[in-house]
Amino acid sequence: MNSHSHRKDEHVFIAEKLYQPECANGLEQIKLFPNNLPEIAWDEVDMTTTLAGIPIPAPFFINAMSGGSPATAKLNEKLAVAAAATGIPMATGSESIALKLPEVEKSFSIVREKIPNGIVLGNLGADHDLQDAKKAVSLLKANVLEIHLNAAQEIVMPEGERDLKWRENITKIIEELEVPVLVKEVGFGISPRSLQQLANIGIKYVDLSGRGGTNFAKIENQRRHAKEFPLLDSFGLSTAETLIASKPFQKEFSFTASGGIRDALDIIKCLVLGADNVGISGLFLHTVLKQNSAGLIELIEKLKDQVKALMVLLGCHNIAELRHVDFSLSSELYAFQKQLKK
């Protein structure tokens, strides 16, 4: 197997090894106030929302992870079977490898085969140009292209990119690509300053992808056995911090939240804090590896049910009403919020 495919397998294997059922993405520091007179019936709840401007039936999806090797092809297939059965969207991992090695294209296109009518998101790094972006969309007949900004991951990887000039590529891609572009992090969080820069070049859809779940610094440090001098293990903004910091930009962007989402309450908190939808990787990876597509389908259906139950409990008819739920922040998050530049 070539070294690129091997890296894809290592990412999955180490992500799963480091997976923690409990995680610190900051959402545990947010308290939602109960609504003791909800005045709502179960059937009145509408949990539809949008992802990169496209209507979706429930406010969460399978985020980018897999493809590029025989093992990750199998994984993509299992994830796609669950996405198709439950109607939630699914993103593939970076298609960069398929642009270099046509023999691994199938590990990505299997996703579209299994999801003939649903929403599929392609994925590429921001070092790729418009031509690559078009190929990535065409390989999957993707409805959306995710472009990942993974500067911290590149820096930790010994074989990572050292030239991180990406803005021109992104600008060209969003001007010319025929599908919506969703710019995302990979678990270190996107800062307000970077959001301003993304707004300036016309980006509308951003996955804030904060710290607290899958940690690519830890994954890359494990890959090179850098246990004594780990780099960037605790770098970045948590999922809760990214949401708090993105508040002034909520009119300019439609936000996806991600990073360490573990249950329906995490999903609801992200929506209360202003996200339009939530991406889940580590939890779904763990579930599909342990329990196959059937176990993942069961989890997704349970999450849908629980999201609805929490909306009933909070007296919210739709996602927009969740924005009015009262909440409080821990003193740590409150201090973080106070330090944000006006």
Q: Residues marked as binding for substrate? A: 7-8, 153
Only one of the segments 7-15, 77-85, 160-168, 289-297 lies at the binding site for ligand FNR (rule: CB under 6 A); that segment is 7-15
- Binding site feature residues: 7-8, 94, 123, 153-154, 184, 209, 214, 260-262, 281-282
CA of residue 221 relative to chain centroid, distance: 22
Which one of residues 260, 264, 268, 278 is an interface residue with ligand FNR (CB under 6 A)? 260
Which one of residues 191, 209, 242, 254 is an interface residue with ligand FNR (CB under 6 A)? 209
Pairing label, strands 54-56, 60-62: unpaired
CA of residue 146 relative to chain centroid, distance: 9
Asked if residue 187 binds ligand FNR (CB under 6 A), the reply is yes
Asked if residue 286 binds ligand FNR (CB under 6 A), the reply is no
DSSP 211: B
Which one of residues 30, 47, 56, 64 is an interface residue with ligand FNR (CB under 6 A)? 64
C-alpha triplet 333, 335, 339: angle, nearest 5°? 115
Asked if residue 63 binds ligand FNR (CB under 6 A), the reply is yes
CA of residue 162 relative to chain centroid, distance: 24
Only one of the segments 41-49, 99-107, 221-229, 275-283 lies at the binding site for ligand FNR (rule: CB under 6 A); that segment is 275-283
Tell me phi and psi for residue 301, to 5 degrees. Answer: -65, -40
Q: 215: how many CB neighbours lie within 10 A of its CB?
A: 28
Distance between CA atoms of 213 and 281, rounded to whole angstroms?
9
Which one of residues 29, 69, 169, 214 is an interface residue with ligand FNR (CB under 6 A)? 214
Distance between CA atoms of 145 and 159, rounded to whole angstroms?
25
Asked if residue 123 binds ligand FNR (CB under 6 A), the reply is yes
- Give residues in contact with ligand FNR (CB under 6 A): 11-12, 15, 63-65, 93-94, 123, 146, 148, 184, 186-187, 209, 213-214, 258-261, 280-283, 285
